[in-house]
Amino acid sequence: MAVDMPVRAVVFDMDGVLLDSEGAWLQARRDYAQSLGRVWTDADHAASMGSNLEGGSRIMVERLRLKLSPEQVAQDLLGRMQQLYAEHLPACNGALDAVRRMAARFCLGLATGSPAALAEPALRRLGLLDCFAARVYGDAVSQGKPSPEIYLKAVAALDVEPARAVGVEDSANGLRALHAAGLGAIALIDPAFPPAPEALALAGVQLHHLEALDEDAVLRAAIARDLRSST
């Protein structure tokens, strides 16, 4: 079966896809919560994964019943993450090759919940910044994932219709955002932070490492999206 419309673009998430940074976010949030006499649980972290910094900070305020504003929490977390990135900036295995492999065939976009002040220097250090024709950061949208806003902005900046794009995500909120935006979805599964089963079911293709991300996987994700939308 052929895809109704050729895939023109692949849009990458960053945290957990290009950067092995979910552990760093978990550490930053746990350490921050502990400094305030609170406990940040795995369930709390799962709820915040994929959201932008503002949304994740609002979740922290609500779940930990903090008297601080979400804006203050966001600034505090940004500082902690910048320090962690300065000490160690881990690329996911195969990320650089995967981006360059996809760039040879598709137009690339980035849709990350991380703010520009954190994400852009990280991408520059990895040598990936110029690989993306469009980059949308978490502080450029009013609603973080699972809202489709960030993916709709990314494909609009690429001048590509959602039906001609596929996204690569690791989080449940990211997969929900892709589904709501109408893109095909590829799930990159990290055993340490697996998406919820109902969100994982939204992905047309499931991968366990970026070495398996190729043109065939992208086309299969688009076919799965088309089949789902036709039923």
Query: What's the rounded mean pLDDT across residues 156-172?
Result: 97
Whether pTM exceeds 0.85: yes
Out of 4, 13, 42, 190, pick the active-site residue. Answer: 13
Query: Residue 30, class by beta-carbon neighbours within 10 Å (0-12 exposed, 13-18 middle, 19+ buried)?
Result: middle
Q: Establish whether 13 is a catalytic residue.
A: yes
Domains and CATH numbers, the chain: 9-20+90-230 (3.40.50.1000), 22-87 (1.10.150)
What's the whole-number average pLDDT of the chain? 93
**What tens digit of pLDDT does each residue of 43-99 get?**
998 888 878 898 999 999 999 999 999 999 999 999 999 999 999 998 999 999 999
